[in-house]
Structure 1
Amino acid sequence: MSKVDFNTFEWNPELIDRYNLAGPRYTSYPTAPQFHDGFRSGEFAAALTESNATGAPLSLYFHIPFCAKVCFYCGCNKIATKDTSRCEPYLHRVYQEMDLATQHLDTSRVVNQLHWGGGTPTFLSHQQMHELMQETRKRFALRDDDLGDYSIEIDPREIQADTLPLLRELGFNRMSFGLQDLNLKVQEAVNRVQPREMTEQALQQARDLGFRSLNLDLIYGLPHQTPETFAATLEEVIEMNPDRLSVFNYAHLPERFKPQRRINAEDLPSPEDKLTILEQTIRRLVEAGYVYIGMDHFARPEDSLAVAQREGRLHRNFQGYTTHSDCDLLAMGASSISQVGPTYAQNHHDTEGYEQCISKGEFATLRGMRLTDDDLIRRAAINQLICHFELDGASFGATHNIDFDQYFAKELKQLQQHQQDGLLHIKGNQLLVTPAGRLLIRSICMVFDAYLDQASLGRAFSRII
């Protein structure tokens, strides 16, 4: 059976129409709806202690839920304010949360990955950013050789001339810039006016400072977007030459996210136009030399993400695609989700609930779960497919000490339909996703999901495309 060609994909409207149902994004398996409140602070503490036996390196995530302005499309957990002093009580609790973690973790475990997300992490004052990194370094074994992946999300509207030099000095070497769209009418409709020059200057400054793997975030499906206007934005983005691109689908859920109520639903592109935008975007980026990593991610062939995929080392977790499959992920701050050994733990969503728990000297774990052996096997199968678009049943079975054909007999039978429709090649117990199936990989992964309740899919998840 031939190997996956990561530079090819096939757009089949008939198959997309048939398979474009609601489904998980598989940043975890089992997915977040399966987390339960029987897994709390004590269970998470035990998981941290148990994880020391592996000696695995660490990945640290910090959620900074503050923004100076609200973007109307945003569904993130954030607080809109211009007062940076409001961060102080929150940061104090984050330091306390780190202290709690170090009571259970072997702090000599090297931190190979670190990420600040939000919100807008650069909302913090320069002093607060310096202090947060300093407090982290006091407690954990951060790298000093610039070989780790230390990244931060950037809003170019909220940085000063000396912000990026400070971040580089603090040890960051990767950045993700929010852009969304360059069309002024679209920007005004979502309350995020951001001229090209602003983003381009920040990108160039980051390059000059030695940052690598610079990412730009785009969103399709925003008000007033058309295939023509988004194509124009894409050409300008290609000229900026980012190392990576994330092209996200906007999900309009005003009943869940209050800022989205400021968006007029009549101004949104039709479902047909959204699909046209996505098709044109994938084709143009592949034509421009980007590797279509999968779902909504693209990377230059020489980027570490594309290299990891070619070498079979790509992984997927709550931060999306990553090259650090061997790390235990310790996530701190409100709403953050940790993945430690065979467990998941999610903190309280609201800052008040988060801070109350931490102030009592316990983790702010609201819910989570410990995975069963079956969960771990299925997680590995889904990760292999969603990252590498192939699965060798014989080697997988040997790795996980199962008879693959027997263990997944029901799934292999279900996948016959995917094969008949041209999404998958099956030879014995070898699975190879076709160019047409790459766009619909979530549908293939869903066959291996033991928890899916078809009746509730539409309420819990967005459409696959």
Structure 2
Amino acid sequence: MNFSTELLHKYCKAGPRYTSYPTAPYFHESFGPAQWEEELRASQDKGRDISLYAHIPFCDTLCYYCGCNMIATKDYSKAEAYLDVLFREIDHVAGMTSKTRTVRQLHWGGGTPTYLKPDDLRRLYRYIADRFNIAPDAEVGCEMDPRELTLEHVKALRESGFNRVSLGVQDLDDKVQHAVNRVQPEAMIREVYGWIREKGFYSVNFDLMIGLPHQTPETFERTLDKVIAMAPDRFAVFNYAHVPWMKKHQKLIVEETLPQLEQRLALQKLTLEKLTAAGYVYIGMDHFAKPDDELVKAQREKTLYRNFQGYTTHKNCDILAFGASAISQTDDVYAQNVKVLSEYRELIEQGKLPVERGLRIAPEDKLRRDVITRIMCDLELDKASFGHAWNIDFDTYFAAALNELEDMQSDGLVVLAPEKISVTEAGRVFLRNIAMAFDNYLHQQATNIPRYSKTV
């Protein structure tokens, strides 16, 4: 992978991550509980499988960098009360869902799902499994925080049927960990990772983060060497987004300790070089996987897809998401739950689905969603085939986008051939920038464009 720091600098601009299109800032509050209930009823006989998501917002300790919808508390009774309400939402949606539909994927995120006690992990899984038809070979995954985690948590997940986990590592440097209030020594990571492998989880992902306080290429290289030696199946390497105007607790980070742009770019380049040299395939969008991983195979076979759960091999699934802030998705609709726990409980107690906002997708949005998805997943797009599928002349319809991509072609990020668009090896780093050329919403007046994180 050959690209310069100058190239990273040029394309380091704000842009969406495209876990949806249109992106979440364009959801609106005129789409609420009644509209989501109507969509649930209308979408049952469309031949689509199901992906389930449950959001557990609680954490033992506040990580200063966190951008998630979470609550740091030592009061476990809050989690017990939350589960009672969560069960009622699950009942409501399950009662409207055809029992003939198959769950191909189940994921728990947060917050920290393993904040729950082992018996409550089992109880939540049983509650879901009793109400939905989970396939024997379903992907069942959970996010883990190694702190406060016990072997009993790992056993509870594995015995319940979980086969995948994502472990929040971030950085192994002691100074960095103290600066972000996430102290988890290397020995702790190794012990937890040992438990996970011992219990036979099929796939293990490590989350890392670039751009944290006191991080330098020298210190992060040591972290990379250590985690590569552990040989997880996947890595997700995120860029820290410092947005204290949105996440007030990020003000606890001393801004002067954050790496400057040139250093962040050096960290990005180092990570790409180290992980690819170690044999991991760079899928794009911060994700790396071993060559025999399903994500790599799906990308090669052009069956990879992207949604709110990131890259996935399950394209034809509706996402039914439970819990505060969770986002559901059908082929025609996005629906996001309220974020505030008191409002979430209030709506559930009123017998309503706890949807705060959403969006019914217009035909034009579907077309552009498809082109963005194909670019970000397949890394190429056959213009004639796409045009035939959507009954358009591709070059005419996307003339403005192709004009934008010409500059990227001169930088070696894409190849614009008469018959197709191809993303180069270097271009995988800049997938968000390439996708942005097809985003109609970014061409609105500047005052209407939401604030996004940097693309690299």
TM-score w.r.t. structure 1 length?
0.95
In structure 2, what is the Cα distance between the partners aligned to 1:236 and 1:311?
32
Give the drift of 1:457: 8.2
Aligned partner of 1:391 in structure 2 is 381
In structure 1, what is the Cα distance between the partners aligned to 2:23 and 2:127?
32
Runs of 4+ in 1 over 4 A off after TM superposition: 456-459
Q: How many residues align?
A: 455
Aligned partner of 2:88 in structure 1 is 96
Q: 1:57 aligns with which of 37, 49, 66?
A: 49
Aligned partner of 2:36 in structure 1 is 44
Please state whether the residue corresponding to 1:202 is helix, strand or coil. Answer: helix
Amino acid at match of 1:300: K
The aligned runs of 1:253-268 (5 Å cut-off) are 253-268=243-258
Aligned partner of 2:238 in structure 1 is 248
Amino acid at match of 1:365: V
Give the drift of 1:383: 0.5
Identity %: 49
Decide which moves more: 88-97 or 215-224.
Answer: 88-97
In structure 1, what is the Cα distance between the partners aligned to 2:10 and 2:334?
33
Contact map agreement 1:22 1:462 (CA 8 A) in 2: yes
Amino acid at match of 1:37: E
Amino acid at match of 1:18: K
Answering whether residue 444 of structure 2 is matched by residue 463 of structure 1, we say: no
Q: 2:14 aligns with which of 16, 22, 27?
A: 22
In structure 1, what is the Cα distance between the partners aligned to 2:298 and 2:318?
18
Answering whether residue 382 of structure 2 is matched by residue 374 of structure 1, we say: no
Answering whether residue 379 of structure 2 is matched by residue 404 of structure 1, we say: no
In structure 1, what is the Cα distance between the partners aligned to 2:362 and 2:401?
19
Give the drift of 1:113: 0.3
In structure 2, what is the Cα distance between the partners aligned to 1:69 and 1:436?
38
Contact map agreement 1:108 1:140 (CA 8 A) in 2: no
Please state whether the residue corresponding to 1:157 is helix, strand or coil. Answer: coil
In structure 2, what is the Cα distance between the partners aligned to 1:274 and 1:180?
15
Decide which moves more: 120-129 or 396-405.
Answer: 396-405
Aligned partner of 1:430 in structure 2 is 420
Contact map agreement 2:9 2:265 (CA 8 A) in 1: no
Give the drift of 1:280: 0.6
Aligned partner of 1:129 in structure 2 is 121
Q: 1:140 aligns with which of 132, 157, 170?
A: 132
Q: Deviations over 1:52-74 (max 9, x none)?
A: 12221100000000011111111
Give the drift of 1:458: 7.6
Please state whether the residue corresponding to 2:130 is helix, strand or coil. Answer: helix
Give the drift of 1:161: 2.1
Give the drift of 1:400: 2.6
Give the drift of 1:108: 2.5
Contact map agreement 1:389 1:432 (CA 8 A) in 2: yes
Contact map agreement 2:118 2:152 (CA 8 A) in 1: no
Contact map agreement 1:309 1:388 (CA 8 A) in 2: yes
Q: Deviations over 1:394-434 (max 9, x none)?
A: 11122233332332233223322322333221111410112
In structure 1, what is the Cα distance between the partners aligned to 2:155 and 2:79?
22
Amino acid at match of 2:143: E
Q: Deviations over 1:119-171 (max 9, x none)?
A: 1111111222121111111211123x3x1110000111121122111111111
Give the drift of 1:115: 0.5
Decide which moves more: 452-461 or 210-219.
Answer: 452-461
Contact map agreement 2:146 2:167 (CA 8 A) in 1: yes
Please state whether the residue corresponding to 2:218 is helix, strand or coil. Answer: helix
In structure 2, what is the Cα distance between the partners aligned to 1:276 and 1:191?
24
In structure 2, what is the Cα distance between the partners aligned to 1:105 and 1:261?
43
Q: Deviations over 1:313-363 (max 9, x none)?
A: 111111111111111111110011111121100110111111111111111
Aligned partner of 2:210 in structure 1 is 220
Give the drift of 1:257: 1.3
Answering whether residue 146 of structure 2 is matched by residue 156 of structure 1, we say: yes
Please state whether the residue corresponding to 1:431 is helix, strand or coil. Answer: strand
In structure 2, what is the Cα distance between the partners aligned to 1:266 and 1:403?
51
In structure 2, what is the Cα distance between the partners aligned to 1:233 and 1:97?
41
The aligned runs of 1:321-360 (5 Å cut-off) are 321-360=311-350
Amino acid at match of 2:318: D
Q: Which runs of 5+ in 2 are unaligned?
A: none
Please state whether the residue corresponding to 1:253 is helix, strand or coil. Answer: coil
Amino acid at match of 1:362: K
Answering whether residue 26 of structure 2 is matched by residue 34 of structure 1, we say: yes
In structure 2, what is the Cα distance between the partners aligned to 1:249 and 1:141?
37
Task: Quickly say closer, same or farther: Cα 1:448–1:312, change in 2 above 3 A.
Answer: same
In structure 1, what is the Cα distance between the partners aligned to 2:47 and 2:452?
35
In structure 2, what is the Cα distance between the partners aligned to 1:193 and 1:458?
37
Give the drift of 1:307: 1.3
Aligned partner of 2:295 in structure 1 is 305
Aligned partner of 1:3 in structure 2 is none
Amino acid at match of 1:125: K
Amino acid at match of 2:110: G
Answering whether residue 195 of structure 2 is matched by residue 197 of structure 1, we say: no
Amino acid at match of 2:296: A
Q: Deviations over 1:275-321 (max 9, x none)?
A: 00110110010000000010211001111111111111111111111
Please state whether the residue corresponding to 2:158 is helix, strand or coil. Answer: helix
Answering whether residue 219 of structure 2 is matched by residue 235 of structure 1, we say: no
Q: Which runs of 5+ in 1 are unaligned?
A: 1-8
Answering whether residue 351 of structure 2 is matched by residue 361 of structure 1, we say: yes
In structure 2, what is the Cα distance between the partners aligned to 1:413 and 1:185?
46
Q: Deviations over 1:168-220 (max 9, x none)?
A: 11110000000111011111111111111211122222122120120001111
Answering whether residue 270 of structure 2 is matched by residue 285 of structure 1, we say: no
Give the drift of 1:373: 1.1
